[in-house]
Structure 1
Amino acid sequence: MKKQISAVLIAASLSPLACFAQTQGVGPTRAQVQSELARLESVGYRPVSEEFNYPQPIQDAEANVAALDQHKASYSSVPSATQNPGQSASSAR
């Protein structure tokens, strides 16, 4: 009987800690996970495959996504010298 009471008291004292631990590290939302999976699949990653060397395919896909992001960023940079589209370079001075 004493063992049961002490087990209940221990469980009751630890339950607030478990609830606190769950609220600390709020992870990504479901939409964020689905978006990331779609991006990985767009560069060739297949989560359901017959390969048993798990880390390598996902690491390759993540590297491909990072390279794609870097490539897109290099083309979307804003030029340092801007001018109005209707204005010639000589009249911009």
Structure 2
Amino acid sequence: MNKIVPDPPRLATVHTQFSACNDSHKPLFAVCEGVDIEDALVHLSMTLRSAFETNTQVCEQVDRAVGGLAWATYHSLEIGLALVEALLGGLAGEGREGGD
């Protein structure tokens, strides 16, 4: 039996270099081409969670002048983590409220 509707194209990463220090040298690292999008999002979620936890500790330890910057970063990381978790939930076809 032939399928009437073809499978959707597989979503994957493209080769992307990073860590060139404002072009002062060749990029040191790269995201590899062809990584399944869900696997890439899981790694992104773990990376954002780590940055979020580290920044939370900074927020608790710095003085008020720097604290405002740390709290702004905290909220940006929180937004990024929520978006990644929402994307992963959408790929899995389920809600992932709270991200835990």
TM-score normalised by L of structure 1? 0.34
Higher share of residues assigned helix? 1
Larger CA Rg, structure 1 vs 2: 1
TM-score normalised by L of structure 2? 0.32
Higher share of residues assigned strand? 2
